Amino acid sequence: MTLKDSTKRFSDRVENYIKYRPSYPEKIIQELEKKQIISRDTVIADIGSGTGIFTELLLNTGCQVYAIEPNNEMRVAAEKRLQKNLSFTSVSGTAENTKLTNNSIDLITVAQAFHWFDLEKTRIEFQRILKEKRYIALVWNVRLLRIDFQKEYNELLLHHCPEYISVDYRRISEENIKKFFGSTIDYFSCENLQFFDLDGLIGRVLSSSYSPKEDQDEFQPLLKGLVELFRKYEENGKVKFDYQTEMYYGRLYNER
């Protein structure tokens, strides 16, 4: 599989993704509500919705949410999780081809997926489906590398996961984001935490598209490194992941 096959990269990682990926703080939703970007009658397209982690938070506001996800296994997992909610609609689509109708969406959200998109094609598609003067919100859980444990965790990924650099969300800069919006954007951030035992730490790594599989040479050295890292930093049988959840939001300017 090549890096271009981004819609298929998580197919065999769904179980670990559901168990070990972090959710997002309620403060993100509260910020959008405070700015009157979300209300109960808002129609939202959650693009690259995956297993529905962020979609579920949006649905809790009472909004109508279209969850756009190209990966079949992740989309099915979201459907199993959320199908009883009448405000949830699952769509097999991509950021570049959402299959939604013209000018039908009040708010587009993207959680932990924007770095996978073809930004030129995505911008055209977002312009097509958004109502006039409506909003986009881009959200990431960002690991804090200034913390010793997470710095060493990152070094393990760099050493044992050859694809890590090429798919890391940090390759999307604030400059890229501002260019995409083409207008003034707002920024909001807040703290987010996860705690893992050893099995959870291993599962967290294996939920990532770039982690080696069991039959690959780097798998056992990565596993050994994770065990050593856990033993070095665990407290009461757990290690802590510190995230800063970041959100860039604003209107999409319609002209270059």
pLDDT in tens, the chain (256 residues): 333 454 444 445 688 888 999 999 999 999 999 999 999 999 999 999 999 999 999 999 999 999 999 999 999 999 999 999 999 999 999 999 999 999 999 999 999 999 889 999 999 999 999 998 899 999 999 999 999 999 999 999 999 988 777 665 666 788 889 999 998 899 999 999 999 999 999 999 988 878 888 888 888 999 999 999 999 999 999 999 999 999 999 999 875 4
- Cα separation values, 33 from 11, 63, 136, Å: 34, 12, 14
Single pTM value for the model: 0.89
Please state, in angstroms and rounded to a whole number, the distance separating the CA atoms of residues 131 and 104: 6
DSSP string for residues in 52-104: SHHHHHHHTTT-EEEEE---HHHHHHHHHHHTT-TTEEEE---SS---PPTT-
* CATH architecture assigned to 6-251: 3-Layer(aba) Sandwich (3.40)
Neighbours of 34 (CB within 10 A): 11
